[in-house]
Amino acid sequence: MRVMAYQHVFKRKEVKYLINAEQWQGLLGRFTGHMELDAYGKHLISNIYYDTQQWYLARLSLSKPKYKEKIRMRSYGVPTENDKVFLEMKKKYDGIVYKRRTTMPLKQAERFLEHKLRIEQPSQILSEFDYLLTLYPDLRPAMYISYERMAYFCPEDANVRITFDQNILYRTENLALSDGSYGKAILPTGSILMEVKIGGGMPLWLADAFTELKIYPAKYSKFSTGYKNYLSQKTQQNHLTDVSEQLKREEMECIA
């Protein structure tokens, strides 16, 4: 499992699009001279999203507030307990995404977020995590999400980055990065999730390409979609349980 070179702090716009294979190929054809595939090619990204017992952060996100935040642990590939992972705080205010992150070994990161480890000499970012752990004392691993990503960067403008995510899987059990990538698919059939990450305005060539290929922004959150699927499954299970109990009661009444 590798650890990539990384930034600690981000401030940017992130716009999402659900595209099909034809649009994807058309867009890649327009990348020549503008965007290059990063050195990692297609790679696996694994995440553990943290939330409260009552799913406060997920429910807040679904309410479409002006401000929302997410807390997650991320790895590139499947880590062992001594591999370094990322601890990330992702906040969105008025359309602008602010992300702050740091690294530590997987086992240490798990203990830190589970309130079982104190860092003696915390950095500024770790101090901010300490504050969040105080703000959400019942924070716990809530959802695993993984996907295969291809990332492109602009050699002439480091503020322009475009990613394509496929095979997005989620689960709400066995919440450990070291358990590997598996779960239920949540991406619409035939779709690819594209994210455009920019520090300022969208490049003109890219805007023209979107117009020609009929590519439009889409409201899509991996975590929120996983949470909605979780709620739907839970509702179905509760309904089946109610029906089963009703049948048992009727059977007992017939016997009586």
| pLDDT, tens digit (0-9, with 9 covering 90-100), for 76-125 | 999 999 999 999 999 988 888 899 999 999 999 999 998 878 777 778 88
Provide the pLDDT confidence category of residue 66 given band limits of 50, 70 and 90: confident
Reported as a single tens digit per residue, the pLDDT across 22-51 is 999 999 999 999 999 998 889 999 999 999
User: Can you tell me the mean pLDDT for 220-245?
Assistant: 80
- 251 has a pLDDT exceeding 70: no
Give the mean pLDDT of 176-189: 95
Report the pLDDT value the prediction gives residue 199, as an integer from 0 to 100: 85
27-19-152-94 Cα dihedral, nearest 10 degrees: 120
Cα–Cα nearest to 197, from 8, 35, 30, 5: 35
Show the domains of the chain with their CATH numbers: 15-255 (3.20.100.30)
Specify the pLDDT at position 11. 81
pLDDT exceeds 70 at position 157: yes
- CA-CA distances (angstroms) from residue 238 to 55, 177, 231, 244? 18, 29, 10, 10
Mean per-residue pLDDT over the chain, rounded: 88
Q: CA 220, 224, 226, 229 torsion: positive or negative?
A: negative
Say if residue 256's pLDDT is above 60: no
Q: How confident is the model at residue 3 (pLDDT cuts 50, 70, 90)?
A: very low
pLDDT score of 64: 82
pLDDT > 70? residue 178: yes
Query: 219 versus 250: which is more confidently predicted?
Result: 219
Give the number of other CB atoms < 10 A from CB of residue 128. 14
Q: Residue 206: which residues within 8 A CB-CB, separation 6 or more?
A: 34, 160, 196
> What's the pLDDT at 184?
96
- Amino acid 160 reads V
Who wins on pLDDT, 255 or 223? 223
Under the banding of pLDDT at 50, 70 and 90, the label for residue 237 is: confident
pTM attached to this predicted model: 0.87
Res. 201: pLDDT tops 80: yes
